[in-house]
Structure formats: C-alpha cells, structure tokens
Amino acid sequence: MGNKRVVIALGGNALGKDIEEQKIAVSKTAKVIVDLVIQGLDIVITHGNGPQIGMIQDAMDNLVVRYHIYKQVPLPSSIAMSQGYIGIDLQNAIKYELYSRGIDKKVSTILSQVEVDKDDPAFHHPTKPIGRFMTKEEAEQNEAHGIPCMEDAGRGYRIVVASPMPKRICELLTIKTLLNAGHIVIACGGGGMPVVNENGRLVGVNAVVDKDNVSCLLAQNLDAEQLVILTAVEHAALNFGKENQVWLSDISIEDAKRYVAEGHFAPGSMLPKVEASIRFAESKPGRRSLITLLDKASDGLAGKTGTVIQG
C-alpha cells in the first residue's frame, strides 16, 4: 500500500438541506477534499442523507396520495435515489476542483448496498432520525398515526426508523478496485441501501444504516489508517451545551468508552460518531479516529485540532 488511506465521513453540513444549498455546499467540500489529496492521501468518502432522504420520501408519499396509479416507494429505494443525486453532485464538484488545480485524478461514485441481519434487535427499537425537523405538535400528530418520532439533540423532532448494524458492504471489491486504481471513491452514501440476504438474493429492508457505523466497517475493510468523521462541531464534548461543557482533544479508547457509559453523547447525534470512532481505533494497532469540523479536516489530520481517539 502506497499513500495513507483515509475514510472521510461527511456530515449534513457538507451537503446542505436542499438541492440549491447542496450545489453550494459541495463546492466548498470539494476544496477540503482536494486539499487532502494534495497531501498524498488515498481517500474514500461516505456521507449522510438525513434531510435528503426525508425530502425524497415526502415527495414519493405525496405522489401516491395525489396519483393513485402509483404505489408506495420503499425507503431503501429512496436511499438509493439519494445516493445517486448526492454522489453525482459531490463527484462533479471534486472533479472540477481537481481540474481547476491541474490535477489529473479520477472520481467515482458507487451506489452501495449494505447487508444487515434481519433479526437485528434494532428493528424492534427505531432510533435513527431522518428527514426534516418538526415541531412537537407535528411529531405528536405523527405518533398518533403510528409513525415514531424523537427529539434530536435539542434541534427539534424527527421521524425515526430502525438502525441495524452493518454486516457486509456488498460492493466492497468494486470500491477496493477503484481505490487501488487511484480513484477518489464516494461510497456507502446515507449508510448504504440496507438489504438482507435471502438465499443469495439481496432484498431491501425499511431501515437506515448509520453512516458512521458503515464508515467504520468500510475503513476496517479497506485497512485504512484513519477514520475521519466531519460534523458540525470542532470537537466532541463532555456536558455538551451546559455551563460545565468541556471540549475533548486527544483521548484514549478507555476514556472514550467511559464517557459513553456516563451518557455524555446524544443518541442519534454525537453518540454514534464516538462509538464508531472507538470501534475503528481499537480494531487494529495504530489506527486513529478523528472527529472535527469540515473546515478543520486538514488541521485535524495534522494533529492540530479535533477530537482524536486512539490506543
């Protein structure tokens, strides 16, 4: 293996909330990615799709209500749609940034399926927030119609679906082949399209795989040296949002586990990022996880900022 391999998980702030915002956001994101390419890193990019999947699913639901000739579009199909349009915008923005700097490097987007266990207990306890933020009243109306909702880290209420753990990335060999050929690869968008294996046939299931969990699995499978989770804050924190808030810098795996057990990180927000970071850091000696802002990615990789978890 030549250059250092890094898996970069992009949060929603790297993508925007709608198509117009996305065009602007991915242009900025592309500059950060190409800055890292110049440093000699081999990069695989994953990304979330919370607002986008909500937008697509709402549109598809409204289509069925308005035109009875159409049937309900399942969530996995909407996830695949989000992978396609987010991926192509991100891919084209990175390609243009490379072109602008005179760098000859390929960029590829892979629509990715992620196998989960049909007996995963997560299917009985939906926890993954998706879609737009709602008021408490809107959430209560949804609950009355059997649609589970939850409050999401003080930002409002959102619909929640099951979030099973990823077991296998179905397109892993394709991702490896493109990475080995020198491509920047965009994969496992929105956590990947969740599927179960029914005697060799992959069947989509109504769930969302957490993108940080699948990024951890992907980084392990690619034998990456670093997992970088880019989010809306420069550091993870203890007592986030409280008077006694403490930003975290370099922490050990053991300390990170203790902070998780003490309940410092919000479920559906920072908690999965820290848990995924721990799993990657402890999966092999020398592996390192970084949580920081998009704009601080380069400084974070240089050890100047962010929350770093390592053995």
Residue 263 Ramachandran class (φ > 0 left, ψ -120 to 50 alpha, else beta): left
**Whether 273 is catalytic:** yes
> 11, 16, 54, 273: which is the annotated catalytic residue?
273
The SS3 call for residue 303 is: coil
Q: What is the DSSP string of 166-228?
A: P-EETTHHHHHHHHHTT-EEEESGGG-EEEEEETTEEEE-S----HHHHHHHHHHHTT-SEEE
**Whether 40 is catalytic:** no
**Whether 4 is catalytic:** no
> 87, 190, 211, 213: which is the annotated catalytic residue?
211
**Whether 156 is catalytic:** no
Distances (CA, A) of 155 to 52, 55, 213, 264: 17, 18, 22, 17
Q: What are phi and psi of 55, to 5 degrees?
A: -65, -45
The SS3 call for residue 5 is: strand
**Whether 176 is catalytic:** no
> 128, 131, 191, 268: which is the annotated catalytic residue?
128
> 4, 12, 17, 92: which is the annotated catalytic residue?
12
> 13, 50, 87, 296: which is the annotated catalytic residue?
13
Q: Rounded to whole angstroms, how far apart are CA atoms 6 and 295?
A: 17
Q: Annotated active-site positions, please?
A: 12-13, 128, 211, 273
